[in-house]
Structure 1
Amino acid sequence: MLIKILVGTFLFALQQQNVAADTSSVYIPNSEGKVVTLGSANFTQQVEDSPDRAWFIKFYAPWCTHCKTLAPVWVDLAKTLKGKANIAEVDCTVDEPLCRSYGVSGFPTLKYVAKDTSVEYRGTRDHDSLLAFVDKASKSPVTHVSDSELAAKLDSDEVSLVYLYDGKADHIDTIESVGQAFINDLATYATSDPEALTRFGLQKENLPKAVLWKGDKAMVYPGSDFTNIPETRDALRNWVNDRKYPLFFELGPGNSNDVLRGNKLVVLAFFMPSRELDEQKAFLKNIAESYAKNVGDEGKVLFVWMDGIKHARYVYNVYGFNGNALPAVVISDPKNAQFFAKSADGEALDLVQTEDIVKAIDDAQSGLLKAKSTVPSGQNVAKYIEKAMVFAGKYWFITIPAIIVSSALLIIPLIKSTQTSDKSTDPKSQ
């Protein structure tokens, strides 16, 4: 009897030891509730070689004022997310190549990195907003729906990505990855409901298929391979990225970086909200619809509006319009730092003249319009830089890189002529 008791006690102790060992091997994110410092020495091991572990990373520079303001918020966020999500930071003055590889072009840049995807946070940098973003990013971006549920979603969403499959949801991991990259821009759905095929004009033999729904128009992804490999993910991701924006939309902190630093023409309208805002939006919508009808909507031209009164200084200093001239419209060419305010006939572009603006878009693409620069002449360089630096702290659509690039384009010739020997890279000295 005693032997049985001893054996039983031994087996129980052994079992408890195994349980303890198993428990200790379970990975717990952010176990200490602290911000982890990442750099070239540990980034690959901690992040890239551990795709099952998600990280919310702050890419910063010590001299950056906004980074200093964010610092205590970031520490508090790490405490709140103890045991739930990894919070980290990378000093880009120390690990510039690493930051560059993640597309960091301004400070601070916040990115949620999970598996093979990183998505940038573009909202306000308060504790609760950051917490809500992590909660959203940590969940699956794909919602599985029936056809009736999908119909309701499409009616309310401006842009949606829909994955249609037959039976088993093969390759859903590919859609998860792509959907994660666009959680700021659109909703992602998956369905095997046969009724959904009719909605998009597809047949069962076409499956699986990905469809981008914008307004009342379906754009079918031309590819048919959804295998979860980098080449397939990148192809679908690039296709969606070129078409992710609504027919027309407001310029804001979540999209200004892409729009004003992109390589697409932008029909940019400056509205006066106090004067029938809905009517002004309707004019821009008519232009966007007419252009899409004539040349197809593949996202080659963006149709955007902004509050011309709220951002009056920016509108006046860059485009030359004061409040009395609103509403107004220009065709912006961010890639070449220029814009077009008049047609080929020399007439000012008018929101009401839909067909004239559609023609002006074609003329701009053909090089037939006279452009104006969004960067001032060399004699106003100092004044421009001073204003730009003020705007950088006040407006979200003027970024540090934009200031640096614009300033460099104007100052480099002056530097060459004076042959300065100062090669310091310290922003304070510059």
Structure 2
Amino acid sequence: MRSLLSLCALLVLLSTAHAAVFRSPNVKHLTTRTFKKAVHSSDKLTLAAFVAPWCGYCKKLAPEYDRVADSLKGITNVVSVDCDTDENKPLCGEMGIQGFPTLKMFPGGSAPPRSYDGPRETRDIIAAATGNMPTFVKRAGTAAEVAELREKAAAKPVSLLFTSAGKVTPLYKALSTDFHRSIDFYAARDTKVGEEAMKSFGVEKTPALLVLHGGEVSKYDGPLKYDSLHKFLADFAQNKQGHKAKKAHEDL
């Protein structure tokens, strides 16, 4: 009896290992039941791989896709769907999947997906995903526009990034999708707004991230990593929600 149970457990393990095309814990495995809620309820871009465990090309893609998921942790959602299971066949049919692997990018919310047909290498997939990310970051292009953000912060916290980069980074875009309902996001390029505008906020060099809230300015001084930045901004988002709840209660 014990040997029979052991054999059954081994078969289940082998079956699970066979079905798991991707090994990274940062690849979320979705089903017909969980896919739409996970993808369409998120403001972030979702990169989805539709695969079959027996597919040789899927196995070839696996290490590249795992590296993509690890590199984009927190930046985009990276998911997979096993189209070989009966449960997921309706979803794969709805998505028009005709071959494996098929990669699709969902820009966020209810926006229609885009197929990715480029090279199946880590660098190229990352470039395509980050290039199609949604963003809620606005530009403050002059010293006067930067100064005006102090007034805006009286009603809603403002995240202000002083930067030397000409483009908004994927990291800052991702944070804006996380908190745009509670925090307004701005980026100001040092060469556009000038040193005096930066010094008025106590900033000497870039990059520098500030949160303006009420009449106060809080400067982030940790590592430029998603988890640390997310934790920093979450405090201001929660305070904003708490303030709204308190105001609603006072209005009753």
Q: TM-score, normalised by structure 2?
A: 0.46
- Structure number with the bigger relative contact order (C-alpha 8 A, sep ≥ 6) is 2
Larger Rg: 1
